[in-house]
Amino acid sequence: MIQTTILVLSVLASAALALRMFFLRGNAPGLRTGVAALLLCAALEALDSMLLAQASASLRLAQASMTLGGLAALAWLIFCLDFSRSEQHCARNTPLKRWALLAMLLYGALLLLPPDAVFDMDQAWDRHRSHLSWLGFSFEAGTLSVLIVGMFQLESTLAGAVHGKRWQIKYFIVGVISILASQAFIISLGLLYRSLDYSLIPARQLGLLSGVGLIWHSLRRKGQDVSISMTCRQAQRSIVLFAAGVYLLGLGCIGLAMQFLGGGIDRIFLLAIGGASGVCLIVVLISESFRRKALQIFREYFPADKYDYRAQWLAFTRRLTASNSRESLYRAVLLGFCDTFGMGGGILWLREADTGEFSPEGLLELDAPSWRLASGDGVCATLDARKKPLDLRLDGPGNADPLAAGLSELKAAFAVPVFLGDSLDGVIMLCRQINKGESWDREDFDLMEALANQAQASIHNLRLADQLAKARDMEVMGKVSTFIAHDLKNLVYTLSLILENAKRYIGNEEFQKDMLGSLDNTVSRMHRLIAQIKQLPTRETMRFARVDLAELARDSIKQLPLGNVRFAGESTPATVDPTQMRKVIANLVINAVEASPEASEVLIETGCNGGPYLAVTDNGVGMSEEFIRNELYEPFKTSKPKGMGIGLYQSKHIVEAHGGRIDVLSAPGQGARFTVRFPDVTSMPQADAA
């Protein structure tokens, strides 16, 4: 009865999980192969149960069982080679996957062989046990090798994951290892005695059932859409060899115990306990918290330097130099600190050049806080005065400080200062301590300072490189504007002649008057364009006046050949330079129209929320967060096929000259909303009398 229950549960659970993975959104690498592997495992359990139910031994069913077991192992191997790997590493494993597919054909050919080629017919056997020939022994040894390689690949995947992503795939990997280990256990016993004992099948079914449960738990709570990049060193650092040694020792102990217990429920119970203990051992060994606690205990009983400073510095430097972008550098800094000091997440705060506030430029396993650090805040002031890392658990701000609630929500443990000369340029905030009982001393703080100095050097070099690139872009922009200005001057001169001749010789018909007006307007706009390219506006060149943003927006797009533009909001007074703001509104609306499908609506909205604002919303292609952060306002960077990448760069400078800012809300395929926010009218300069 118990064996039947275990069989039904394992088969149904495997089929249900296969169906769940088949319809899983995202189609991550390896999932489809995992579906096939689960279905093969379900078929294998059903077939072996039929074998046990037979009144007499069935050689063909035993052969089919060996074939299904081999095919399932190969399917799991292909899954392990692709699971959570990047496309580059999946492509690198293609030759091995081709060999696995070829091996599947060999296992399929096993069914074509006569039974006496696979089984030893000279040995007495029944429906509970079949003795293997050398050919059958070789097939089973191959299956065991495939299972071990699969477990090795899974453990390498877990070792290659950064600690922040490791938790997302940990239980998924442990579940698959549980399935593979239970199959390896049955096969290894068969190789040990050169016979397959089908009475042990319930143990394999228990392993399958527990593995399916762990995988289902991982998919339900955390998913497995994580891309891992592997290195040779990570692949070699494996606990699989250690686990293999423990397994062989345990195998001998279980073999001795089974000789005394014999068959029946006690035997199955012993195997179930052994399998569950193995799964628990794997979970403990891959636990980051366990690693930190083990290191702490080791340091207590074997006192020595807590860190190998040379190794730590080299590892941190390699991590930084491997970064190829601003975002990856900030992430590498946080990863280095969190891996070294056992933290679950971190934030890199950097000083903004224009405001002096600290904004969260880098995040690791944390959401961006809604608040900012100011140079006068308690944390920043203390760091600037001490020039040392700050233990926020002991010396953090008091409950009366506005920062206290935010730091508590982040579970912030340490704040490490990043200095540029004598000026506080950034703060590395370490959060979510993994081992709550771990203590910290001067040695930890010294290493924090050393790593912070190295991080500051890399960040400063990145900033210098960005400034050099911008200077080169501006040099190119100056050259381009010179050529454009020269060409436009020629066009303006030509149009001026046409206008002069038309005024002298053409008649007074209404159409001709309209044409003259249009030409006159075109000439004026070309002159303004030349001036716009030559010089960006500053606050000193602004001519402020009190205007109604809604009326200014309507007036700004009268001359633009636009489609479906709708206005919303209320009359909103603001103190702005009308001429410069017309350029901003025109740039935003033209961009919205060009980015949207034909006949799609563009919404212009005005209002007051902490200050006057004007928003332009479209239903276009949208932009990625990375593009908005790194390229949106850069000159000559554009997502439009015919754009020059100057309009938003110019608009940002105009709005900042007003003391305002442009907020962007967008996602790929979901349109964009640009909101121009101005300071409260009472804080703006009085309108220019001129």
Q: Domain residue spans in the chain?
A: 2-286, 309-439, 539-683
**What Cα–Cα distance (Å) separates residue 52 from each residue in 129, 513, 670?**
10, 101, 58
* C-alpha–C-alpha distance, residues 329 and 362, integer Å: 9
CA proximity to 674, closest of 611, 598, 609, 623: 623
Asked whether the predicted pLDDT for residue 303 surpasses 50, the reply is: no
Residue with tokens 């908005």: 628
Least confident of 131-145, 236-250, 456-470, 580-594: 236-250
Helices (DSSP H) in 507-563: which residue ranges? Answer: 510-534, 549-556
Collapsing DSSP to helix, strand or coil, 662 comes out as strand
Q: What is the token pair recorded at 688?
A: 């220019």
* C-alpha–C-alpha distance, residues 282 and 183, integer Å: 16
List residues bridging with 132 in a β-sheet.
119
pLDDT confidence of residue 416: 92
CA proximity to 242, closest of 292, 212, 207, 281: 281
Percent of the chain exceeding pLDDT 90 equals 7
Q: Is residue 601 a contact partner of residue 653, using CB atoms and an 8 Å limit?
A: no
Q: What is the token pair recorded at 551?
A: 């009326």
**What Cα–Cα distance (Å) separates residue 421 from each residue in 321, 345, 352, 384, 572?**
22, 27, 16, 12, 46
Report if pTM > 0.95.
no
Residues 6 or more apart from 142 whose CB is under 8 A from it? 70, 103
Please tell me if the domain spanning 309-439 has the same topology as the one spanning 539-683.
no
Averaged over 424-428, what is the pLDDT?
90
Least confident of 279-283, 605-609, 659-663: 279-283
Residues 6 or more apart from 19 whose CB is under 8 A from it? none
Chain-wide mean pLDDT for the chain?
A: 76
- Residue 412's Cβ-count burial label (10 Å; 0-12, 13-18, 19+) is buried
Averaged over 34-42, what is the pLDDT?
89
Q: Checking phi first, is residue 195 left (phi over 0); if not, alpha (psi -120 to 50) or beta?
A: beta
CA proximity to 623, closest of 586, 668, 588: 668
pLDDT confidence of residue 475: 72
**What Cα–Cα distance (Å) separates residue 70 from each residue in 131, 147, 186, 201, 302?**
17, 9, 13, 16, 47
Q: What is the token pair recorded at 60?
A: 């063909």
Q: Given pLDDT bands bounded at 50, 70 and 90, which one contains residue 612?
A: very high
pLDDT confidence of residue 196: 81
Residues 6 or more apart from 93 whose CB is under 8 A from it? 81, 82, 85
Least confident of 171-175, 236-240, 677-681: 236-240
* C-alpha–C-alpha distance, residues 676 and 582, integer Å: 13
* C-alpha–C-alpha distance, residues 443 and 663, integer Å: 43
Which tens digits make up the pLDDT trace of 668-685? Answer: 888 999 999 998 755 444
pLDDT confidence of residue 677: 92
**Which CATH class, in words, describes the domain spanning 539-683?**
alpha beta
* C-alpha–C-alpha distance, residues 29 and 23, integer Å: 14
- Residue 107's Cβ-count burial label (10 Å; 0-12, 13-18, 19+) is buried
Q: What is the token pair recorded at 349?
A: 């705060």
Please compute Rg for the chain using Cα positions.
35
Q: 578-595 and 549-556 are packed helices; what angle lies between their axes, rounded to 10 degrees?
A: 60
Residues in the chain: 690
* C-alpha–C-alpha distance, residues 24 and 228, integer Å: 19
Domain 309-439 carries which CATH code? 3.30.450.40
